[in-house]
Structure 1
């Protein structure tokens, strides 16, 4: 068990706390924990690369923790009516479809080796930014700061949401294309 893996597991343990805070309307706490989780993702990756502590387990744990965090946050934000349900369904469906494609490949004894695509990495960043903006906007109102002109300007969150939608569709299409090529060979 390496230090980066411990950090990743701690990030994974933050997920239920963030979900509970969103559900109870503790927006500032949810925002701060989300930022902490995001920072820990950068820190564990840096330590793993810098001190050559990369491992296969760490790669799987990191991807799992990222997906658990984002999917949980997006679903929680939809339940709290902070994000449109259709956006969340699109984001979650993409991940489910990728998982189903991997499972079908295994069942057909044609395992596919999936590596994150550049568009997928950009999509993840866009999802993190959107979630952070929504949590920040809600937390500012919750602690009496009123609404920030920058964050609550309709175009800021709308632009982030449109970016997530476009990148999610493009990413899903790219993975589908790779999977179909793999299965057709």
Structure 2
């Protein structure tokens, strides 16, 4: 197994670790960070750092695979799977923690399933649905929103700006837009799939 695929597997392995910090109530955590009314439990801070580390490896594995000609079928399967697992796991955890509305998470996850299905149809057709700019922007906004939610809207909480909620709404909107864009640009695949 080459280095990019190992990095991708490491990202997948970080997911349960992150979820443990988010969802398991350990008694050994020190008192939360408290500052002028702002409260951030250490478990959320650790989970946020793990999420940032895992999310940052996404670009690294792809870059290394392309630069050193180490693109493999396993990597093509694992990389998008790792991204979807990471975002899905943390969003579902945030719903359980009461930090995000469940319908927003359903919208985001539904888009991922739909685009994955479209990519499967493209593969059967012998073509590839490449990631567009709106899809890349969607990923960035989702990551920013998730981090803001994990760290309890720091530092915007001191400005009275609900940045975390604005960011997750923006993530939902760009998710819908980018999903629709994928289907509009690739409607020929759907016509072909319906005919067979």
TM-score range, shorter chain: 0.7 to 0.9
TM-score by length of 2: 0.77
Q: Output one character per residue of 1:43-101: Cα deviation in whole Å (capped at 9) or x when no partner.
A: 32333233332333223211111111011111111111111112111101111222344
Task: Return the alpha-carbon distance in structure 1 between the equivalents of residues 178 and 106 of structure 2.
Answer: 15
Query: Which structure's residues are more often helix, by fraction?
Result: 1
TM-score by length of 1: 0.81
Q: Is the 8 A contact 2:146 2:168 kept in 1?
A: no
Q: Which moved more, 1:23-32 or 1:13-22?
A: 23-32
Q: Is the 8 A contact 1:151 1:157 kept in 2?
A: no
Change (3 A) 1:159 1:115: same
Aligned-partner SS, 1:46: helix
Q: Cα RMSD over matched residues?
A: 2.5
Aligned residues: 174
Task: Return the alpha-carbon distance in structure 2 between the equivalents of residues 154 and 28 of structure 1.
Answer: 20
2:116 equivalent in structure 1 = 99
Aligned-partner SS, 2:128: coil
Change (3 A) 1:149 1:125: closer
1:59 to 65, 70, 76: 76
Change (3 A) 1:100 1:58: closer
Task: Return the alpha-carbon distance in structure 1 between the equivalents of residues 90 and 161 of structure 2.
Answer: 21
- Larger relative contact order (Cα-Cα within 8 Å, sequence gap ≥ 6): 1
Q: Is the 8 A contact 1:133 1:151 kept in 2?
A: no
Instruction: Map 1:7-156; keep pairs closer than 5 Å.
Output: 7-24=7-24, 26-102=43-119, 105=121, 110=125, 113-137=128-152, 148-150=154-156, 153-156=160-163
Task: Return the alpha-carbon distance in structure 1 between the equivalents of residues 186 and 66 of structure 2.
Answer: 29
Task: Return the alpha-carbon distance in structure 2 between the equivalents of residues 48 and 69 of structure 1.
Answer: 20
Larger radius of gyration: 2
Residue segments in structure 1 that go unaligned for 5+ positions in a row: 139-147
